[in-house]
Amino acid sequence: MISKKMITAINAQINKEFYSEYLYLSMQAWFADQNLEGMAKWMDAQGKEERLHVMKFFNYLIDRGAKVKLTAIDAPPVDFDNPLKVFNMALDHEKLITKSIDELMDLAIKDKDHATRSFLQWFVDEQVEEEASMDRIVNMLKMVGGDGQGIMMIDRELGQRIFGVVNEA
Ligand code: OFO
């Protein structure tokens, strides 16, 4: 039996995952505006992944016979300073999402809700990857500093990302 508290918490998580999609879309738009097409493409794939996360939670609630309640999504920032700051912000955001998933897991354990625990395990594992891939990009950007050629090289590499392929940068 899924608790009311858990249903409320998963609905709140749906909103956070939508916000993640919004945030990465906004970053995509900024990169496109800077003519950093590879980074824009990377953010496009990231935003699409976030929609998959939304739908996993959405479908889980439906499967458990619970009500999905969609709420207003906050506006993400529109202007960013430079690629390093963008990816740092994305990394910080993923850390918040990890914390939020951990709190859901804590609740599932407290509720002895084994089905939700099992469902959430995928997200626990996914967050390790989400943080690692952002962290890797942050480190690459730190290494090149503001060097234009280095940024262009990273842009080319990130442009290789194909939506739906796991373990990519
Ligand atoms: Fe980026 O993992 Fe969902 O939010």
In angstroms, the Cα distances linking 36 to 9, 21, 33, 88, 117 are 37, 19, 8, 17, 40
SS3 61: helix
Q: Please tell me the distance between residue 101's alpha carbon and the centre of ligand 1 in angstroms.
A: 10
Q: Please tell me the distance between residue 4's alpha carbon and the centre of ligand 1 in angstroms.
A: 23
Mean pLDDT, range 21-48, rounded to an integer: 98
Q: Say yes or no: CB of residue 130 within 6 Å of ligand 1.
A: yes
Domains of the chain plus CATH, in order, are: 4-158 (1.20.1260.10)
The tokens describing 24, both together, are: 């990465």
Ligand 1 atom nearest to 130, measured from its CA? 1
Over the stretch 90-126, which tens digit does the pLDDT of each residue have? 999 999 999 999 999 999 999 999 999 999 999 999 9
Mean pLDDT of the residues in the chain: 96
Q: What is the pLDDT of residue 165?
A: 59
What is the band of 46 on the pLDDT scale with cuts at 50, 70, 90? very high
Ligand 1 atom nearest to 53, measured from its CA? 3
What is the band of 22 on the pLDDT scale with cuts at 50, 70, 90? very high
Best of 10, 42, 53 for a ligand 1 pocket test (most atoms within 8 Å of beta carbon): 53
Q: What is the pLDDT of residue 57?
A: 98
Residues 6 or more apart whose Cβ sits within 8 Å of residue 124: 101, 102, 105
Q: Say yes or no: CB of residue 46 within 6 Å of ligand 1.
A: no
Q: What is the pLDDT of residue 115?
A: 98
Percent of the chain residues topping a pLDDT of 90: 93
Residues of the chain by 3-state class (helix, strand, coil), percent to 5:
75, 0, 25
Q: Please tell me the distance between residue 88's alpha carbon and the centre of ligand 1 in angstroms.
A: 15
What is the band of 167 on the pLDDT scale with cuts at 50, 70, 90? very low
Q: What is the pLDDT of residue 146?
A: 87
What is the band of 132 on the pLDDT scale with cuts at 50, 70, 90? very high
Residues constituting the chain: 169
Q: What is the pLDDT of residue 163?
A: 80
**Rounded distance, CA 167 to CA 137, Å?**
13
Ligand 1 atom nearest to 50, measured from its CA? 3
Decide which of 83 and 163 is more confident: 83
With beta carbons less than 8 A apart as the criterion, state whether 4 and 23 touch: no
For residue 153, pLDDT over 70 is answered with: yes
